Structure 1
Amino acid sequence: MQHQRDARGRQLVHPGPPHPDRIESFADGLLRGEIVLPAGAVLIEAVAAGLAPLGLRSAALDLRGLVLGPMNFVMPTYSRTPDHVAYYSETHHRPGPVRVDEGTATYGARDGAPFLHGHVLWQDADGTAMGGHVLPLDCRIAEDCTIGFAGAREVAMEARPDAETNFTLFGPVAGEPSGGDLIVARVRPNEDLIEALEAVAARHGVREGRILSLIGSTVGARFEDGLAIDEVPTEILGLNGRFGRDAAGGARLDLEIALIDALGRIHRGRPGRGENPVLICAEVFIERLKAAQEE
C-alpha cells in the first residue's frame, strides 16, 4: 500500500486512475413512507417487494428496529494484495435474532437486480457493541418489521465497476430529475468528508437540511474531541447530520458518526473538518428542509 500525504492530512493512492468527477449528486422529488418486511424473507427480496411497486430507483432506508436471523456481515480490514487499498473481513455469522440499534442503507440496483448497501450497529448476545456491513442476499428477516424509507423515482443508485478503487460501487445516475427536496450523492476517495458534503449542499442550494443516510469509509479518523483512529480501514455510519449556514452564508454541516475500525471497535463522535479523507466512497441522501432555489 502506497501512502501520499498533503497539507490537509492523510491520503491514499488507489490502484486505478482518479475519476475526474470527485463529487456526483442529483436532486429529485422525495417520496417518504414505510414498508413491512415479513419474517422469513431474504433481506433484499423483502425490501424490493416493498419499494419496487412504488417505482423507486434509489432510496435511503432507516434500519432501526430491523430484526435479522440469520445475519451474515463483514467488517473493514486491510487488503492482502495491491488490488485494493482496503478490503472486507471474512464473513461473520449470527444465528439471530439480531436487533439493529442504528443503521441505514442505500437501495438501488446491481446487475439489473435490486440491491442494497447497509451499515448497522447492534449488541451481541453478551452485550458487546458490534457493527458491520450486512450482506443483503445472506440475511433473513427474523420477525415482521417495519422500516422507513425516503426515495427517488428519477435518480437511480446503480452499482458499477469503479476503475479507481477496483470495487463495484453505488453511484447516482440521473434519469430526468426535475429537482426537488431529495439529494442523492456519492463522494469519491481522498475528498474531505465534511467539506465534500457541504459542497453537495451548496451545489443544490440547501440552506437548511438533514442527512437521511450516510454510509461509506474514511482513512482512519480524526474527531473534534482529539480522538485519533490510525487503523486505515473503516466503515462509517451517519448518526445525526444537520445543515445550516455559517457566518458568511455558506453551507455548514454539524455531523455525528459511528465508525467501525479494522479491529472491530466502535467509535462515536464528530469528525474534524479537513481531517477525514474518504477511503473508498461515501453515499449520502440529503433532505432539504427549507425551500431554496437550485443553483
Structure 2
Amino acid sequence: MFERRLRQPGPAAKAPFESVIGSGEYLQFTLKTGLSINEAIALPLAEAGLTAASIVLEGGSFAPLHYLMPALSTDGHHAAWYSETNSPEGEAQLERGNVTFGERDGHPFIHCHATWIEAEGRKRCGHVLPHETIVAKPIRATAWGTNDVRMVSQPDAETAFTLFHPIKTAQVPRAKGPRIVVARVRPNVDIIETLEEICRASGFSNARLRGGVGSLIGARYADGTSVDDIATEVFVIDGFVSTRQNLTRLEIVMVDTLGRITQGQLLRGENPVCITFELYLEEA
C-alpha cells in the first residue's frame, strides 16, 4: 500500500503549523517585461510597503523560462527533492500561478508554482525559478498582502530545506484592512484539517484562501481520483475554510514526479503535506 507519511531528516516540530495574524491589503499590478519574475513582483510590492503577500498570476508569458519539477530524493537525507533545471526553447504562455512573496538573506524573494503552455504546445506545471525566469509579455497580478507580517526564508531543522516562515513585524498597520493570517503548514499533517485548526487558533469562524503554494504526498480528490506519488508541486485555485467540519473546500493544481498534471477539490483528512505549504487566509 502507498505510504502517505514521510520520515523527515530532523525532529518533528510540536505544532503542525506556524501562523501570524495581521491586517490585509489588496493590490493589482502588471509584471513588467524584461525583468526577472522575482524583480517584476518585488518592485511594486516594495513600493506599496508590503512585506508578505500571496499573488495570483494570469496571462502573459516567459522567455526564457527555467523551472524545476518535483523529484524523489537520492541523497539518503531529504524526504523529497527537485529535478534538474528545465529550460524549454521559445516563449512559454502562462496560464495561472500562485506566488508567496517574502525575503531571503535580506532581499525580496518569491516562491512560484504555475502552469503554462510551452512553444511546442505542451502544458507543463512546476516550480518557476525566480531570478532566472524573465517576463516576456505583461502578466496580470492580484496580490493580497500585509505590512505587519514578514515571510522570511530560513533553514528548517525538520526538513533540512530553506523555507518561508511567518514572523510578526514591529510595523503598525497603515489601515484597518481585513484580518488575515500568514501561515506555513508543516509535513505529514492533513492540509484541510490543519487549515481549520489555524482558523480556530486565530479566532476566525471562516476564511477565504488567497492563494497558496506547497507540496502534498500525492492527492485524494473529491471526485474519487487520486495521485500516488511522494513528491509533488501544488498551488491553490480556490479555497474556503470553516471551523465547522465538512464546509471547508480546497481546490488545487498538482504536478507529480512524472509530470502528470491534475486538478480538483481535495478530500478532508486524506491529504498530508510533503515538505511545506504556505498560505494566506483572509477572514470571511
Does the TM-score normalized on the shorter chain lie above 0.5? yes
Contact 1:71–1:138 under 8 Å retained in 2: yes
Say if 2:241 is the partner of 1:284. no
Equivalent position to 1:160, from 151, 154, 158: 154
8 Å CA contact 1:15–1:82 kept in 2: the answer is no
- Percent identity over the alignment? 38
Q: Does 1:267 align with 2:262?
A: yes
Q: Assess if the C-alpha contact under 8 Å between 2:199 and 2:242 holds in 1.
A: no
In the TM superposition, structure 1's runs of 4+ consecutive aligned residues that sit over 3 Å from their partners are: 176-180
Q: Which runs of 5+ in 2 are unaligned?
A: none
Counterpart code for 2:247 = R
Structure 1 residue aligned with 2:201, among 193, 200, 203? Answer: 203
Take 1:66 and 1:87, find their aligned partners in 2: how far apart are those partners? 29
1:125 aligns with 119
Structure 2 counterpart SS, 1:184? strand
1:103 paired residue number:
97
Identify the residue that residue 257 of structure 1 maps to in structure 2.
252
Q: Is the Cα–Cα contact under 8 Å of residues 199 and 251 in structure 1 kept in the other structure?
A: no
Compared CA separation, residues 280 and 226, structure 1 to 2 (3 A): same
Q: Secondary structure at the match of 2:181?
A: strand
Q: Deviation of residue 47 (structure 1)?
A: 1.4
Equivalent residue for 2:229?
A: 231
TM-score, normalised to structure 2, is 0.92
**Structure 1: how far apart are the matches of 2:136 and 2:88?**
12
The CA deviation at 1:36 is 2.7
CA apart distance, 1:133: 0.4
> Which of the numbers 163, 168, 172 marks the counterpart of 1:169?
163
TM-score (norm 1): 0.89
One-letter amino acid of the structure 1 residue matched with residue 266 of structure 2: P
SS in 2 for 1:285: strand
Counterpart AA for 1:222 = R
Moved more, 207-216 or 101-110: 207-216
Q: Is 1:69–1:94's contact at 8 Å kept on the other side of the alignment? A: no
Aligned residues: 280
How far has the Cα of 1:35 moved from its partner? Answer: 2.4
Q: Distance in 2 between matches of 1:73 and 1:111?
A: 22
**TM-aligned CA deviation for residue 122 of structure 1:** 1.6
* 1:13 paired residue among 1, 7, 18: 7
Question: Which of 131, 135, 138 is the equivalent residue of 1:141?
Answer: 135
Q: Contact between 1:66 and 1:147, CA under 8 Å: does it hold in 2?
A: no
Question: In the TM superposition, what whole-angstrom CA distance separates every residue of 1:236-286 from its partner, at most 9, and x where no partner exists?
Answer: 11111113463xxx6831111111011000011122211111100100011
CA contact (8 A) 1:198 1:252 kept: no
Q: Quote the residue 1:187 is aligned against.
A: 185
Match of 2:70 in 1: 76
For residues 265 and 139 of structure 2, the distance between their equivalents in structure 1, rounded to whole angstroms, comes to: 30
Deviation at 1:206, TM superposition (A): 2.5
Deviation at 1:15, TM superposition (A): 0.6
1:23-65 deviations in Å (ceiling 9; x for gaps) = 1111211111122322111111121111112221101111112
What is the alpha-carbon distance in structure 1 between the residues aligned to residue 54 and residue 60 of structure 2? 14
Cα pair 1:65 1:147 within 8 Å, conserved:
no
Shift of 1:19: 1.9
SS, match of residue 63 in structure 1: strand
SS where residue 46 of structure 2 aligns? helix
